[in-house]
Amino acid sequence: MALLTNAAALAAQEPRGAGPDARTAPAGTLRIGLAATWERDPEQYVGSGAGSLRTLGSKFSFDTLGSNVFATLGPVESAARAASGIPTFRASLGRSVVKVRNYFETTPFFAEYGITSRLSLGVVVPLVTATTRVDATVNPLGREATVGFNPAYFAVSAATGMQQLLAQFDSAAIFISQRLATCAAQPSGTGCTTINASAATARALTQQSAAFATALGSLYGGRNGTKGAPFVPVAGTAAQAAIDARVAGFRTQYAALGASGITAPSPQGAAPITAAGLQTILTDSAYGINSKPLGAVVRRGVGDIDLTAQYTWHDSHARATTTGSRMQRAWWRSAVAGTFRLGTGANTNADDLIPVPTGDHQNDFEVRSLTDIGFGTAASLTTVLRYTMQMPSSLQMRIPGSPGDPFPEAFRTATVTRNAGDEMALDLYPRWNLSEAMSIAGRYSYRSRGADAYTGTVAGTNSAGTTVTASASVLDAPSAAKEHRLGAIVAYSTVAAWSQGKARWPIEISAGHFQTTAGLGGTVPKLSYDEVQVRWYWRPFGRAAAPANR
């Protein structure tokens, strides 16, 4: 195996400048290389029209973690209203503040082989490390929540106390009911004067206390060994104070009628949940969600592999002059390329709250038109038109109740079909060659993506006990979008110097950066992308390259 042996042939094709262009590798030449890329998207554009910027964590950040977020709080809210007597009570686990950052580090290995002076075949194999970093804070002030974990689930004393309190309510009601019957038959009996004078009040008291005791048992547990609702009012809140007051009120009323056996303390209030408590709600199957934690994720693997064929159908660069009239110095070159993208990258798991894939996990076919227009050797413009046809794929995921549903419950897991929207894109690379070794280029990109189409349904019972049927079409709405990007590239090449015997190796090195500057029409990640790339020319078969006739 030898390096390029025909320096004249290699020199005939001027060094590749900053950014892509319409050239193929010279005939018999293998252009191989690798790159390192870093992609970050801590924010995204959201909304129709010109999208507004939101952090990735805003999906999980709420001023009120209520029943609209966790269905299991619906029955808790109803039980707490009945127990407290506050019809406007709202069950809330408090406030959440979540910060999320996604990082994708990729090492693409690529090779392009010149079949002829106009046709080349290429492959790109990327190794991807996808990382999510999460910082979650819940109830930073310590007083935002109205409900928290029911102590009876974790403390034997709390469960025992509730059993005792409810038993005493039952005993007091039985005692008064028996006294009413006895005193009605024997009005002159001991203590009957008070009971008979307040018979209506006593009967109402037993009925009201029975309803109250039922509400307490439903909320805090204590009936037949049950633990009650998973969440109860937080100690010191208005709801817990109202429940304490009602217990004290019934205790006083019963004592006035001679039933002084209610001595157990009021139900134990909850503590506000913390970030660890939120993770418990998300990961413990008892709460219905049973997902992965809302925390850091690192996933490594092979990304989607590209197989490309490119054909340069016109090239007048060789006939252009460096001096003379504008027409004599003008040249243009154009190529067409087709890429088949294998969905070898791993998609996200159904129980991941934050998607961190290493690829799309679907096959795509992309066609491109690349056209270079220039004057002499200094300045040129490359225009790339791309159309990507994305093929349907099946995947397992959770169908949310709405596009913004942050915590879909486990029963929503189903196999759905995704027909991702096709993409059209325009890339412009204005380029200036500072010398035969150095070049710089700007980059402007416009991307338009059609709406995804999801099919599939799932039915089940949520944690509130409600039967739900969900359609995957709910995911269609936010997928269509448009995006603008700006960036720059700088490149250094020793190819020309090598062909003149002034450099030891024919290599090219480039570094680039681009970022999203606007997103419209849907959800668009605000990307920040950096890349360093090295290319090396090699003739594996030692065959002399044919002079470029372009």
How does pLDDT run across 205-218, given as a tens digit for each residue? 999 999 999 999 99
- Residue 421 clears pLDDT 60, i.e. is over it: yes
Tell me the C-alpha distance between 292 and 358, whole Å.
18
* Three-state SS sequence of 341-359: EECCCCCCCCCCCCCCCCC
- Residue 547 clears pLDDT 50, i.e. is over it: no
Please identify which residue in the block is written with the tokens 């690349």.
Answer: 370
Quick one: pLDDT at residue 549? 34
- Residue 200 clears pLDDT 80, i.e. is over it: yes
Average pLDDT, the chain: 89
Residue 447 C-beta-side C-alpha neighbours within 13 Å? 21
Please identify which residue in the block is written with the tokens 């450099």.
Answer: 503
Quick one: pLDDT at residue 133? 93
| Predicted confidence band of residue 192 (pLDDT cuts 50, 70, 90) | confident
Q: Could you tell me which residue, 385 or 48, shows the higher pLDDT?
A: 385
pLDDT digits (tens, 9 = 90+) for 29-86: 999 999 999 999 888 888 665 568 889 899 999 999 999 999 999 999 999 999 999 9
Amino acid letter, 204: A
Tell me the C-alpha distance between 161 and 221, whole Å.
10
Quick one: pLDDT at residue 10? 36
Count Cβ atoms below 10 Å from residue 174 Cβ, excluding itself.
12
- Residue 2 clears pLDDT 80, i.e. is over it: no
Tell me the C-alpha distance between 185 and 100, whole Å.
73
Beta strands in 303-378 (DSSP E): 305-315, 330-342, 364-375
Please identify which residue in the block is written with the tokens 């094709």.
Answer: 13
Phi, psi (rounded to 5 degrees) for 499:
-65, -20
Amino acid letter, 362: Q
Q: CA nearest 231: which of 265, 466, 157, 240?
A: 240
Quick one: pLDDT at residue 458? 93
Could you tell me which residues are beta bridge partners of residue 122?
112, 308
Quick one: pLDDT at residue 50? 58
Tell me the C-alpha distance between 30 and 509, whole Å.
16
- Residue 520 clears pLDDT 90, i.e. is over it: no
Q: Structure tokens of 330?
A: 């003008």
Indicate the helix (H) or strand (E) that contains 321: none
Tell me the C-alpha distance between 103 and 15, whole Å.
33
Quick one: pLDDT at residue 14? 53
Q: Specify the length of the chain in residues.
A: 550
Q: Structure tokens of 296?
A: 């850091």
Quick one: pLDDT at residue 12? 40
- Residue 323 clears pLDDT 60, i.e. is over it: yes
Between the CA atoms of 375, 377, 379 and 381, what dihedral angle is there, to the nearest 10 degrees?
A: 80
Query: Coil, helix or strand for 263?
Result: coil
- Residue 469 clears pLDDT 90, i.e. is over it: yes
CATH class of 7-143+279-538: mainly beta
Quick one: pLDDT at residue 348? 85
Tell me the C-alpha distance between 291 and 281, whole Å.
9
Q: Where are the domains of the chain?
A: 7-143+279-538, 147-271
Could you tell me which residues are beta bridge partners of residue 182?
none
Q: Could you tell me which residue, 449 or 187, shows the higher pLDDT?
A: 449
- Residue 252 clears pLDDT 60, i.e. is over it: yes
Phi, psi (rounded to 5 degrees) for 8:
-65, -40
- Residue 286 clears pLDDT 50, i.e. is over it: yes
Q: Structure tokens of 186?
A: 């024997």
Tell me the C-alpha distance between 444 and 518, whole Å.
12
Q: CA nearest 352: which of 414, 397, 287?
A: 397
Q: Structure tokens of 205?
A: 């008291």
pLDDT digits (tens, 9 = 90+) for 95-114: 999 999 999 999 999 999 99
Lowest mean pLDDT among 111-115, 189-193, 200-204, 359-363: 189-193
Tell me the C-alpha distance between 213 and 209, whole Å.
6
Query: Coil, helix or strand for 253?
Result: helix
Quick one: pLDDT at residue 324? 67
